[in-house]
Copies of this chain bind each other. A is one copy, B any other.
Amino acid sequence: MKNDHPLNRPRAIDSARALELRREIEEFNADYCATLDANDIEGWPDYFTDDALYRVTSRENAELGLPVGLVYAEGRAMMRDRAVAISRTQMFAPRYMLHVLSNTRVITEDAAGIRAQTAFLLMQTLVEGPTTLHLAGTYHDRFLRLDGRLKLAERQVVHDTNILANDLVYPV
């Protein structure tokens, strides 16, 4: 048994409550992905709390518990700077991104927020090019509720796919 695997925490939440939260998180993620897939990168930081953590890291590092990643942002101000920078860059390499999400798994809910995970595929289509798998991985999230709405206090994007830092220009 490897129930203590850092990427497979056992659920510790009432089933009815988990279902309720799952529906809300699914809706949140549908909006999040629609925003990014429409290339509205400047709208991306709005899904986070003011002091949220956003990190993109390989599964190898995540399983070792290493607090490093290819991309790292702490606080929405840093995300906004990043979003603006990307919005300027994207002129040079137009592409379409498309997120496809699997079932969301709600793990716990306590004073620190709601923890959940969702596997994703991120597809990329270059102009006149083929559609390829850009990144396969799992969101490991912590949500807080602000004014009745969910916000990401933490999104750790753990990717299975081997990728170069240069390829991670866009938010995932």
Contacts and interface: CB of A to CB of B under 8 A. Distances in A.
A81 interface: no
Interface residues of A, number: 54
Contacts of A7: 34, 37-38
A107 to B, nearest CB: 9
Given A161-B125, A161-B131, A2 B42 contact: yes
A15 interface: yes
A80 B15 CA distance: 27
Interface string A116-152: 0101110101001111010011100000000000000
Nearest to A43: B1
Contacts of A86: none
A162 B130 contact: yes
A8 interface: yes
A105 B160 contact: no
B105 A31 contact: yes
Given A23-B19, A103-B26, A8 B162 contact: no
13 contacts: A1-B43, A3-B40, A5-B40, A8-B37, A8-B38, A15-B24, A19-B23, A23-B23, A30-B104, A30-B105, A34-B117, A98-B160, A131-B162
